[in-house]
Amino acid sequence: MVALIGCCLSPMLHAETFLQVYSQALQSDPAFLKAEANWRAQKLNLPITRAGYLPQLAVAGNAVRSYTFYAPASLSEVSDYNWNYGYSITLTQPIFDLAAWHAIKGASASVKSATATYLAAQQQLMQRTAQAYFEVLKAYETLIYTNDNKEAVWKQYLTAKRKYEAGLIAVMDMYDARSRYDFVIAQEISAKNTLSDKLENLHALTGHYYKTLNGFSIKIPLVQPNPRSVDAWTKASEAQNYSIQAQRFNVIAAMDNIKQQVEAGYPTLDLSTGFVEARAVDNQNDSTNTDAVNLGLNLTYKPIQGGLVYTSTEQARYYYAAAAAELELVHRQVVIQARNSYVGVMAMMNRVNTDRARIVSANKALVATEAGLKVGARTMLDLLNDLTTLYQAQQQLADDRYTYLTNVINLKAAAGTLKMADIMQINHWLQKKIALPSTSFVDVKASERQKQ
C-alpha cells in the first residue's frame, strides 16, 4: 500500500490535498524512512541465522615446495627438494545443535517484532501527518478569526472616533476601541507566529513548504466510537496494537536467547563428507598421487568454556526481564492512550455541539448589544467584549473540531485499526482550497501603519 500510494502520487509532489501531503511524508519523513530501513535490515536476521544450520561447502588448495639440507655446515647447498600439491572439498551438515535451533527461533520472533514495529510506524506516520496538517489548519483559522476581529474592532474605533469628534460620546469610548484594536494586533502577530511554527512542523515531515492547502469543505459528521464502550476499545487495543505485538515477540525472542545460551554448552553433531587429492613430486621427478574420500560424524563437546555459558545465560535472563518490563510499560501506555482517546472523542462531540450553540448565543448577544449601544443602554466596551466573545467561540469550535478528529485517529491507532481508508475519508472532507497568508511580521506592521 505504501508503494502504491507513492507511485500514484509521485507526479504531484507539490500538490496540496491531505492525501498528497501524506504521500510526501511517506517518501520524505526521516523517522518513517529509518523505521522502514530497520525493518528491511532485521528481516535478514532470519536467513542469516538459518544459514548456520544449512549445509556448508568448503574448498581448499595448497602448493608447497620444500627443501632438505643434509650438510648443516654448508646450508647453501641443497641436497633435496620436492613439490606438494593438493586440494580438498568438504561438505558439512549440522545434525544436532540446539543452540543454533533456538537462535533460528529467536530470529524468527525478532523478524515478527520488526514487522509489527514497522506497521506501528506506518500508523504513527498517519497520526503525525494528520496532527501536523490539522495544526496548520487550526492556526490558519485562528489567524482568520483574529483578522476578522481586528477589522470589526477597527470599524468600531472609526465609528467611536466620528461620534467623539461630533460630540456625541465621551472620549473614553474611543480610547476603549483603540486599546482593543492594539490588543488584537498583538494577537494577530502571535497567530502569524503560530502558523509559521506549524508550517515548519509540517515541513519537517514532508520536506516541502506550502502556500495552499485543503480545508474542510463540509460539516464534519460527529460519529460515536463503535463499539460504544471504553472497555471494548481497551481490549481491542491490548489484542491488536502493533506496539504491544512487537514487544510480545521481543519477549519470545529473549526467552529463546536464554535457551540458546544454555545450550551453547551442549554437544553438537555434524555429518561431513569430503574428497582430498594430493600429489608429491621430488627432484627426480618421481611423483606420488593420493586420493581419498571420507564420510563421518563429528561430535564436538566443550564442557569447560571459562564460565562463558553461565555468564551469557545470566545476561540473557536480565535481557528477558528488561523485555518483559518494556512489554508492561508499552501495554500500560497503550491502554492509557485508548481510554483517553475514547473519552476525548465523546467529550469533544459534546463540546463541538456546545460551541455551535455558543456561537448562536454570541451572535444574538452582539445584535442586542449593538441595539443597546444605539439607545445608550450599552457602552462601547460592552460591544467590544461581545465581539471578542463571538470570535473566541468561533475559534473554540475550530479547535474542538480538530481535537475531535485527532482523538478519533489516536483511538483507532491504539486499537491497531487505523488504515488508509481513514486517510481517504479525511481527504474526502478536505476539499476546500485555502491560500495560506503570509506569516511575515512586516505585513502586520504595514497594515497597522496604514490605519494610524
> What pLDDT, in 10s, does the model give residues 352-383?
999 999 999 999 999 999 999 888 888 888 99
Please report which confidence band the pLDDT of residue 2 belongs to, taking 50, 70 and 90 as the band edges: very low
Over the stretch 215-247, which tens digit does the pLDDT of each residue have?
A: 988 788 899 999 999 999 999 999 999 999 999
- Tell me the CATH number for domain 56-96+267-300: 2.20.200
Supply the pLDDT for residue 429. Answer: 92
Read off the pTM. 0.84
Please report which confidence band the pLDDT of residue 74 belongs to, taking 50, 70 and 90 as the band edges: low
Please report which confidence band the pLDDT of residue 81 belongs to, taking 50, 70 and 90 as the band edges: low
Contacts of the segment 358-364: beta carbons below 8 A, 24+ positions apart: 358/393, 358/396, 358/397, 359/390, 359/393, 359/394, 359/397, 362/386, 362/389, 362/390, 362/393, 363/390
Domain 2-43+97-265+302-450 part of CATH 1.20.1600.10: yes
**CA neighbours closer than 13 Å in the CB half-sphere of residue 442:** 2
256-267 residues labelled b (16+ CB within 10 A) or e (exposed)? bbbbbbbbbbee
Greater confidence (440 vs 119) lies with 119
Over the stretch 370-420, which tens digit does the pLDDT of each residue have?
A: 999 888 888 888 999 999 999 999 999 999 999 999 999 999 999 999 999
Over the stretch 177-200, which tens digit does the pLDDT of each residue have?
A: 999 999 999 999 999 999 999 999
Supply the pLDDT for residue 3. Answer: 46
Q: Where in the chain is the domain with CATH 1.20.1600.10?
A: 2-43+97-265+302-450
Cell numbers describing residue 155: 470599524
Q: Where in the chain is the domain with CATH 2.20.200?
A: 56-96+267-300
CA 352 and chain centroid, separation: 29
Query: What residues contact residue 106 under an 8 Å CB cut-off, 6+ apart?
Result: 49, 252, 253, 254, 256, 257, 260
